[in-house]
Amino acid sequence: MPDPMSVASGVCAAGALLSSWQLRRRAVRAEAEIGHLQAELAAERHAASHDPLTGLPNRRAFYRLAAALLTDAAGQPLIAVVLDLDDFKQINDRYGHAAGDQVLISVAERLAGFAGDNLVARLGGDEFAGLLSSPTVDRRWIEHSTRRLSETVAAPIRLSGCSVRVTASVGLAPVTGPAQLTDALSRADAAMYQAKSLGGARSPRQLVDSAFLSER
């Protein structure tokens, strides 16, 4: 006949093992729930700061990130860029909004590829912006870079069953500190609209903001 004390000890041990197993199971579930909540929070933060169509930072994130970059730039020349597609409404009217979305995605990818590790963003609609590092503010270098960017955007874009070309009006202006960001973007924006007003006189359209550029 089993010893009652041994039986009781065995029952207690089994109960302790069961309790321990249950606690571990609850801990695993809690960790999984925490991980799920953290992933949801990260997704919400990403959605709040990124454009859902192109995946680029949105307007709010652009200003925040640009200010941080300018604070850490330590005097390195940076160039504020504003880019707006020409007659983009015609793409939507002729090919549909799905095609228009694909054009915006393609332009965003090309802009990001051109910028490399530099900051680029979609401000809204067909308007994009960037903050590009520059080895110099020499006019010729900046005009060359602007031309390359315009030509990159203007390359044919494959859509379903067809290929389209879009041009962009580009404006840019040097900026050296956080306090100058708004002013530089305003000057780049004004240069972009001046380029757009040139119409078909230049293709791709482009204009470099002349303020603060050296004449070398």
| Catalytic residue annotation | 126
DSSP, collapsed to helix, strand or coil, labels residue 187 as: helix
Residue at 16: amino acid letter: A
CB 152 within 8 A of CB 166: no
Dist. CA 173–CA 194, nearest whole Å: 13
Structure tokens at 198: 């040139």
**Residues whose CB falls within 8 Å of the CB of residue 214, separated by 6 or more in sequence, listed in order:** 136, 137, 138, 139
Angstrom distances, CA of residue 103 to CA of 77, 92, 110, 126, 161: 31, 10, 11, 9, 14
DSSP 214: B
